A and B are shown apart, each in its own frame.
Chain A
Amino acid sequence: MATYQEFIQQNEDRDGVRFSWNVWPSSRLEAAKMVVPLSCLFTPLKERPDLPPVQYEPVLCSRPTCKAVLNPLCQVDYRAKLWACNFCFQRNHFPPAYAGISDINQPAELMPQFSTIEYIVQNGPQTPLIFLYVVDTCLEEEDLQALKESLQMSLSLLSPNALVGLITFGRMVQVHELSCEGISKSYVFRGTKDLSGKQIQEMLGLTKPAAPVQQGRPAQPQDHSVSSRFLQPVHKIDMNLTDLLGELQRDPWPVPQGKRPLRSTGIALSIAVGLLEGTFPNTGARIMLFTGGPPTQGPGMVVGDELKTPIRSWHDIEKDNARYLKKATKYYDALANRSAVNGHCIDIYAFALDQTGLLEMKCCSNLTGGHIVMGDSFNTSLFKQTYQRVFTKDYNGEFQMAFGGELEVKTSRELKISGAIGPCVSLNVKGPCVSENVRLGGTSQWKICGINPFTTLGMYFEVVNQHNAPVPQGGRGAIQFITQYQHSSTQKRIRVTTIARNWADAQSQIQHIEAAFDQEAAAVLMARLGVCRAQSEEGPDVLRWLDRQLIRLCQKFGQFHKDDPNSFRLSESFSLYPQFMFHLRRSPFLQVFNNSPDESSYYRHHFVRQDLTQSLIMIQPVLYSYSFYGPPEPVLLDSSSILPDKILLMDTFFQLVIYHGETIAQWRKAGYQEMAEYENFKQLLQAPLDDAQEILQTRFPMPRYIDTEHGGSQARFLLSKVNPSQTHNNLYAWGQETGAPILTDDVSLQVFMDHLKKLAVSSAL
């Protein structure tokens, strides 16, 4: 067997799973001492080009409380046509279709390489994808124009039979009816009055005239005819909708001097949710909210319309000075939950220079798996490209989006589920696998309404095996993830991933466990915990908690002599972890300084849904250095890497910064790249651009692209990220050719490590 590195990589590629520990401590007590919980990052729909879905239904364990899916880990008696559930040990008969089963004629789900397998389930009518645009009309003219164009463009990206709907809002909310010819028709709601879903459906005329007589007949077809007024197949109303979008006007209500436009975002969302709730419950749908400012009236307002009262800042929030915060948050939270229950996801595209209330609205996307994209204006490529990328297609020509995902987790007896962190919402399903110590969710099932191949959840487990009941040698713990979802082809699919890991006695086999530590996954998982705490706790508390965890981990796995910091050593599998923690502490996910509440929300939103690689980039940005002295190379995220004759490319996930060193910048200013004899310089300048372009092409959301140079104002993006190894405080560095000093009081990694060691070895703790 190869190294753990390879093992981990292989597992991730095959199952989309990264565990913090790949060998599991076999008792509850031991597990608790490991500091980093037994947990994993799970990417339910990880793209698997090599995994052909099977066209039949999974075989389930017959025990009602179990219902685990037949998998390669099950013991099978081919002669008796029996299989034993590896979770509950129930013995089950194969269904009749499996009559021909034998050890040479195995169904796919029993083959070891199919630890992840996807079933296509044929049942019920297929419903097309649904896209409901919710458009703010209180925009500047150019912004609105750009938005309109993007929306019109998006119609061409949709599959012809996808259903689209349009809601516009400003002071009022308009639900546009798309079916009529000639006269364009819309239902209008005032933006200040909260309505229940039922009321909304009544007002939209969606409630069918009561005809309970014909109960036998499913009302499905009628249903569609009714709702069809608002949601129409793209191919039918392509032209109409394009015209309609073209005719969209800015909100006509006058905005007096010194006021914000009245924007009824809350009601608009509520109506969108209500509309879909009434017409297409449990069907994949995206509500796409495009807004250019904060909600200023009605439920869900985050700021009044007086311009003289600024929108809440972190400062206000700390002082409990944000009048609308709690109410609005609660409002959107309720909306998100309603939407999630029906399997609809909400995307928020908020483009404005000021805040737009993402802090309050974030749960709409967070709970439903929708996107949040934030920027300055709809009239930027950041929006246009990102929006286009929503409709990216996979190698099969299908959208890289799936809907209405439901993730169910099953564990073997020694384990229980304690929670999940990600763009999901608990379905509150109690079961034998659910941990008593509820921290997150208290369920074994989650709903992930909007899901794509990169959506990654952090799953947290608890070892419940008691210390005095050791797992037999060679025993394995198993976890099964069952993800049902609606594929973008509208098929209903079930993906089952079953994984198993060895148990180890932490006392006797600590080194095994230690070696099987996945510090990258652990860092991300711990970060998610931290971010999750940060939503509800004070920033310093979270940092303190994080520090303590780090120190405890170091104490547990470090090798040192008591009270001798210099003797402190960490094994290779832990070596990077403290550094991740250092950068995490400085990251916008935990630090709110210099970020607006909206920005923090935005960063956190993305952090808890991206896969491991992206998450790591977010924690510790990647820095590449380009120079004449060799090929581009990754360099330390450290101020010492900032050198005059180098070009740096930093990727923080949200930003791409190209930084030209002082000398390079001067050369560039002098125009050397234009001269034929300095072709190489031109190439040097071009290299990071090309690399950046590559990232820009693929990442969602598209990062902010910053091209700056030494002394440039935008260089702050870089300077704020690098480890301030040289600052104005350690003067000795001045003038040396070792990098650029950072004007900060922040501790450098060096200082951080010193303290860590000191604390780790301290016997006082």
Chain B
Amino acid sequence: MNVNQQAHMASPYRQPQPALQGYSQPGYGEPPTQYAPYNGPNPGYQQGPAPAGYFPYSSLPSKALPATLASDLSSNSSSPLDLGPVRPSPNSGPPPMLTPQGYSQYTQGDVQNGPPTMSGQPHRPPVSQPYLPGSQPAYHQHYGAPHTGMQQMTNQMSGMHVSAPPPAVSGYAPSSHPQTSVSFSGVPSFSVSSQQNSPAASLTHGQPPSQPPFPGSPPLSQSPFPGVPPPGSQAQYSSTPPLPVSQPQYSSTPPLPVSQPQYASTPPLPVSQLQYSSAPPASSQAHYPGAQPPPASQAQFSGSSQTSPFHAPSSSFAPPAGAPRHPGVQPMQALPHSQYLSGPPRQPMQGPPLSQQNHVAPGPPQPGMAPGMQGPSAQPAPPGQGQGVHPHQNGAFGQMSGPQPGYGGSYPGPQNYGAQPPPPAAPPQKRLDPDSIPSPQVSELPAVQKTRHRIDPDAIPSPIQVIEDDQANRSSEPFTTGVRGQAPPLVTTNFQVKDQGNASPSYIRCTSYNFPCTSDMAKQSQVPLAAVIKPLATLPLDEVPPYIVDHGETGPIRCNRCKAYMCPFMQFIEGGRRFQCGFCSCVTEVPPHYFQHLDHTGKRVDCYDRPELSMGTCEFTATVDYCKNNKIPQPPAFIFLIDVSYNAVKSGLVDLICAELKTLLDYLPRESSEADSCIRVGFVTYNKVLHFYNVKSSLAQPQMMVVSDVADMFVPLLDGFLVNVNESRAVINSLLDQIPEMFADTRETETVFAPVIQAGLEALKAADCAGKLFIFHSSLPIAEAPGKLKNREDKKLVGTDKEKTLFQPQTSFFGNLAKECVAQGCCVDLFLFPNQYVDVATLGVVPSQTGGSVYKYTCFQVPSDGDRFLNDLRRDVQKQVGFDAVMRVRTSTGIRATDFFGAFYMSNTTDVELAGLDCDKAVTVEFRHDDKLSEESGALMQCAVLYTSCSGQRRLRVHNLSVNCCTQLADLYRNCDTDTLINFFAKYAYRSILNSPTKTVRDALINQSAQILSCYRKNCASPSSAGQLILPECMKLLPVYLNCVLKSDVLQPGADISLDDRAYLRQLVTSMDVAESHVFFYPRLLPLQKLDVEGDTLPTAVRDSEERLSKGGLYLLENGLHLFLWVGANVQQELLQSVFNTPSFGQIDPSMTNLPELDNPYSRRLRAIIENFRAQRPRYMKLMVVKQDDKLEPIFKHFLVEDKSTSGGASYVDFLCHMHKEIRQLLS
């Protein structure tokens, strides 16, 4: 049996490993071989630089652009809008623009942008070729790609360009008008090329209309900026009727102008659009409106650009949606449709009927419009689009004020402010837009009046839009890390990373890639400087795992003073005889065996042969000096500790675990070079007492050893407890067969807990190795033993000052125990199966301080939760893990890592000690200034993790990252990563509730965010009305995400959430990386009505709001822990049939946890998507089918985070208003 099983099982499990093997195989043991693979790239690399002038690029562009951009942006942005400008320039806007330019020769400017933007591979080839004749293919991809722009881009571009060419320049120009303009001149030609690439039709369409407008617009925008333009926007706000329409809302409009300019430059347009798009298409449209006619087209295009990916699907929907909504816009239809599709989804999502009606009205005009795509060019377009409104949303939120019911009252301020400009200002057209947007239902005219009352959700920055834009713009080209201070694409974007000297974003993400030079600036901006580090992150299969470097007996080369490890930041001097540390500037002798000559540029000749000199991430083999007690460590051990009390047995858990372990033991983690895992295993069962098992291979039967002396735990046996799986296979199987039998009739309900950990710890001590404990536990440990707990769940404390005690452990016992565990390298993973309160806050102390994980399966039942548990267990057992790890973050002089968040223990202020560190664990590190940083040298950080691999090797993994430093706040705001910021905020807040009431914590968060935004407003967006809500492009999602954090179960619990769940989530979030925290706080909601059943593209997600759900639709929602399939009451029968194999809504079984396996394309595709989702997350998500209006629906609705929550959490719109008020208060 076993053999067979193994064989079978092996393949699936091992599959992943092969990959690893492959990678490791290169054999790091031997230098030559090791590098062999590595060299490959290097040469390419080297060559690249020479011809392409790679360096020049980086250097030139980076500096030049940033500076210009910064200034531009700051100015522009301030006037125009917010984020729009900022973001665009770095991310989307510039890239396209630049890219083209780059091609054309604007590379310099592009540099920064170029790479990021790279999207259209197809184009690249040509582009790249022309661009870099000499450059090699590799190069092309990186550099070429960006320029070329993705197909999508092209499309967009084309569209955009068309209109944009002129504007684009301007758009970019905004940042640097003069430059842009210049570039522009060049651009046109470019645009052509792009056009060629893109469908001619679309281009043509787009172009004509857009162009005209743009031409006009660009000037407009430009003009405004220079002097009036802002006014223009302002004017709008203030009152400028014409512009106002969009502008009003737009307070952001200013951005429009800006954006427009961007748009003007074709690429920018897309960019801007993208940005806007994020804000919701509307915004983009809005921009356009602001921009006037051209915008419209642009808008469309923008839409198209956005939609481009989705054209197909959207098209179907688009018609209705688009039509209804934007009468004016419709003109664009042709384009729009497709565009709309993308955009549309939202619209349709919203109360279809209503919106439709509303739209309908406009509709008529649209048609007219549509035909004359040009229509858009006409002013109507902007208005019609109402998108104008959207733009407003993006930029200014002032409008939002009035409309909302609850909120309006509370925040009169915003109303006034917001309301004033827009409504009044809003010209009829614009009004229409705004009106329609804010209250789509209302007829246009009336809308005018009502504008104040309500803010159109579509008009405020949309996470979906931002995500989509980033995905569209940045996923096609690899992200090369060679340039300092580049912000990587969003975590939601799929992109490949090329390590060229800085660690991949998979390993490290920073809240900002441009650190303020001084602490004063940092204080002023209030932007936390933090990095989320995931040292052992699993890389995508197409990326090369870190190379392993062996420096021989002396160990890794290090700086004499700060002990930083050899890395690309070390500067070799004196002909290579010494090197200067990039962190502390200390000069250290190069050991003779490491000596190498320098080339004429001061680089070591072997730079590219040595991963540690050329890569942002590499791994050193550690010498015995790096081992505990100066002894080479033993291979680690896994100990499985299984609760066999009555509850656990009855629920079928014990059976399940034992059955699973039999196969799972074949897949213990191992080095890719090894055939078998070195990890030894041991087994313990327990209830009130502990049962150890002797599974020595020489025994015919396992032996059980009961330890009842739980007060003073010890390990009763030495030999035979920890065994090699293969050697003891028969005995282990026999044991696993017998455990369920032995306890089948147990009556014991009480359990112990602390002694269980102690037992594992003692076992590891006795074996003198590190290891991991897998504890499967079911109930509150009330049996007489150390660490005995009492039930202290007291909901009355929630919301009081004493609430914090509920998150603190009941006793300090576990803290001390954790300390011991860490000292031994004993990591604890806890699987909880509670039927009632188990005090996760206390039980989780040890796991959370030893780098372990807690898994919780409330009211565990095998049929419903079995899959989830088994998958979690499998993953947890198999995942790559390091033991006995110490992590240290070194930084340039000037900043210092001061605070750490995550699952670890710290015995001093610098060393993060992790008994276990697996590939899913992230540590967030906060930096603070202790001196000045210089713009020249930037800020460097090196995260070194010393750990024991699963084969018992001691290794050092080193991640290096450099970021820029700035003296202008605008630079800071332009390079922020909101997702990372949220990760930091969440962790910070979740830790703070241990010491402060949740309300205080929430208020502090709001306050800090308000300060961040107000600082931006004050310093980077000066010339605008106080009533405008202006957000930095990079942070335009900050409010929505922040609101999600604030209303999360931990910070604002509903009545139905248990204390355990909160404690559980609190600990869970503590070690989340950015991708996880992102989806955790802002769940992904996919409409499934129109699935691309053939391809592998996903439908565009929709925003987490009930308004976006259509009764006739199916939606999939995931947040990394839960997976819901929401079924609308009016879903078509065929759809139900193909998904559930039942034609009737009523017959859908809400208890199913997996979809039936049906042989139709739709079902296959849907299941594939679900599997895909599950595979992306570290934890298996159980599928819950939620039927509309079913009793389970409230649970689902809880995750629609843009809506008001039952626990009192504000809706997005309300919160935005609140933020606005806060900001205004700060400003005044």
Contact = CB atoms under 8 A, between A and B. Distances in A.
Interface in B694-748: 699, 701-709, 712, 714, 716-720, 734-735, 738, 741-742
A716 interface: no
Contacts of B860: none
A626 to B, nearest CB: 55
A187 B703 contact: no
A253 interface: yes
Mostly, the A contact residues are mixed
Interface stretch (A11-19, A189-197, A444-452): A189-197
B692 interface: yes
Contacts of A126: none
A187 B717 contact: no
Interface residues of A, number: 23
B689 interface: yes
Contact of B706 (A188, A195, A252): A188
A205 interface: yes
Nearest to A190: B714
Contacts, number: 66
A195 B711 CA distance: 11
Contact of A203 (B709, B717, B718, B741): B709
Contact of A252 (B718, B734, B735): B718
A182 B731 CA distance: 11
B705 A182 contact: no
A203 B752 CA distance: 13
A103 interface: no
B714 A185 contact: no
A317 interface: no
Given A183-B742, A205-B708, A172 B703 contact: no
A254 B718 CA distance: 9
A187 B718 contact: no
A505 B772 CA distance: 88
B65 to A, nearest CB: 68
Given A203-B689, A205-B689, A247-B699, A186 B720 contact: no
B704 A185 contact: yes
Nearest to A188: B716
A253 B719 CA distance: 8
A184 B692 CA distance: 11
A174 B715 CA distance: 12
B708 A203 contact: yes
Contacts of B716: 172, 174, 188, 190
Interface in A153-182: 172, 174, 177, 180, 182
Give the one of A183, A195, A203, A253 with max B CB within 10 A: A183
A252 B708 contact: no
Contacts of A193: 709, 712
Contact of B703 (A184, A190, A195, A253): A184
A187 B714 CA distance: 12
A210 to B, nearest CB: 13
A188 B738 contact: no
Contact of B708 (A182, A184, A185, A187): A187
Interface in A241-271: 247, 252-254
A195 B709 contact: yes
A184 B734 CA distance: 12
A409 interface: no
B735 A187 contact: no
B854 to A, nearest CB: 29
A187 B705 contact: yes
Interface in B885-909: none
A187 B699 contact: no
A184 B705 CA distance: 8
Given A190-B714, A252-B718, A253-B718, A184 B709 contact: no
Interface string A657-695: 000000000000000000000000000000000000000
A202 interface: yes
B716 to A, nearest CB: 3
B706 A185 contact: yes
B788 to A, nearest CB: 15
A389 B718 CA distance: 37
A40 interface: no
B738 A252 contact: no
B1079 to A, nearest CB: 46
B705 A186 contact: yes
B709 A185 contact: no
Interface in B674-705: 689, 691-692, 699, 701-705
A254 to B, nearest CB: 8
Nearest to A203: B708
A311 interface: no
Contacts of B701: 182-184
A409 to B, nearest CB: 43
A188 B742 contact: no
Interface in B1150-1201: none
A204 B708 contact: yes
A187 B707 contact: yes
Contact of B704 (A186, A190, A254): A186
A230 to B, nearest CB: 11
A203 B755 CA distance: 14
A185 B708 CA distance: 13
Contact of A183 (B702, B709, B712, B718): B702
Contacts of B738: 182-183
A188 B699 contact: no
A193 B716 CA distance: 13
A484 to B, nearest CB: 36
Nearest to A253: B718
Contact of A186 (B703, B709, B718, B742): B703
A204 B708 CA distance: 7
Nearest to B706: A187
A204 B706 CA distance: 9
B121 to A, nearest CB: 62
A252 B719 CA distance: 6
Contacts of B712: 190, 193
Contacts of B720: 252
Contacts of A187: 689, 705-708
A188 B692 contact: yes
A653 B702 CA distance: 47
Nearest to A187: B706
A188 B709 CA distance: 8
A317 B691 CA distance: 43
A180 B717 contact: no
Contacts of A189: 707-709
A186 B741 CA distance: 17
Nearest to A186: B705
A195 B709 CA distance: 9
Contacts of A172: 714, 716-717
Contacts of A183: 701-704, 734-735, 738, 742
Give the one of B691, B708, B738 with max A CB within 10 A: B708
Nearest to B784: A202
A247 B720 CA distance: 14
Given A180-B742, A182-B701, A188 B719 contact: no
A167 to B, nearest CB: 13
Nearest to B741: A182
Nearest to A185: B704
Contacts of B705: 174, 185-188
Contact of B709 (A180, A190, A205, A247): A190
Interface string A204-219: 1100000000000000
A203 B699 CA distance: 26
14 contacts: A172-B714, A177-B706, A182-B741, A184-B701, A185-B703, A185-B705, A187-B705, A187-B706, A188-B692, A188-B706, A190-B709, A190-B716, A193-B712, A195-B709
Interface of A: 172, 174, 177, 180, 182-190, 193, 195, 202-205, 247, 252-254
Given A189-B708, A190-B709, 7 more contacts: A182-B741, A184-B704, A185-B704, A186-B704, A186-B705, A187-B708, A247-B699
5 tightest A-B contacts by CB?
Answer: A203-B708, A188-B716, A252-B719, A185-B704, A187-B706
